[in-house]
Amino acid sequence: MLGFLLQRLIQAMIVIIAMSVIVFLGVYAIGNPIDVLIDPGATAEIRENLIRQYGLDQPLWQQYFTFVGQVLRGDLGTSMVYNIPVTDLVFSRLPATLELVFVSVCIATLVGIPAGLYAGYRPNGIAAKAIMALSVLGFSVPTFWIGMLLIMAFAVGLGWLPSGGRGDTGSLFGIPTSLATADGWSHVIMPAINLSLFKMGLLIRLTRAGMVEAMSTDYVKFARAQGLPDRQIVFSHVLRNISIPIVTVFGLELGSTLAFAVVTESVFNWPGVGKLIIDSILQLDRPVMVSYLVLVVILFVLINLTVDLVYARLDPRVRLKGGAA
């Protein structure tokens, strides 16, 4: 197991280093933030002073290594627009994104896996076909369009839920969150449903496929021959055997949900990190863009590493390939 862990850690470090270079070069190619920060009529002297202040007069390779050194010290730089440390700016928005992702993942899991199990258990039933049709919609319909439909239906038409914003926040374990107040829940539920639909459809189809395949295997037939009830067979045997691909996809989708909540946050005006990165792109706030993208890469790598470890725990054959158990 130790060899497997070391192998994955080395791979993770290589990916983080490679992606940090790609991100830095990509953000550098977007444009010069000085053109956005200062008035077009500013003198050349003011322009040069601002360029030196932010270190933009240095060679690109030197800017990159300066950024890496700051990251290793826990310093992500200072926002050019807000003039506050990027760390404070990102972490002030992060709780809003995390709570939105948490609620959406819970909805996708609590609905998607049981629905997929039922659709696989009775694949020819009317309810199973309706579940699969809804899962196709979750894949096919754009997130922003579903978000606008939800706003039109539940905020404008029925007036049941607010159309945007985070709502009132309370304290939960010392962290300000809207999940601690009723008004906060009324604000989070609609964007969370919107964000969960793609993941829900994916979990439904993945669970159904595993369920259909597992129900025709010999161990299920043998369990039935022993007189075990189907409920026990499904939850004690089948679900355990199909959990590996579900865990893998769940981990990957958790990372993508955190990274790509941008659309949902923009549609519902949710004050999270995704909304922050959109504003930073429009304002060419380079420190925020680079820091956000590097943090997303690190987050993806950590989630994938965790998934690999869980995968190895569920299937010992995996860790045997990576080193001694």
In angstroms, the CA 271 to CA 278 distance is 11
- Token representation of residue 93: 């928005």
CA distances from 263 to 38, 142, 149, 284 (A): 29, 10, 14, 19
Element (H, E) at 302: helix 286-314
Which residues fall within 8 angstroms of residue 30, CB to CB, at 6 or more apart? 281, 284, 286, 289
Indicate where the chain has its CATH 1.10.3720.10 domain(s). 86-280
Closest CA to 237 of 228, 245, 248: 228
Q: Which fold has domain 86-280?
A: MetI-like fold (1.10.3720)
From first to last of its 325 residues, the chain has per-residue pLDDT tens of 566 667 777 777 787 778 777 777 766 656 666 665 666 666 667 667 766 766 666 777 777 787 777 777 766 677 777 778 887 888 888 888 888 888 888 888 888 888 888 887 787 888 888 888 888 877 777 878 888 888 888 888 888 888 877 877 777 777 777 777 888 888 888 888 888 888 888 888 888 887 887 777 777 777 777 777 777 777 776 777 777 777 777 766 676 777 668 888 888 888 888 778 887 777 777 778 777 777 777 777 777 777 777 666 666 555 555 444 4
Look up residue 241 and give its amino acid.
N
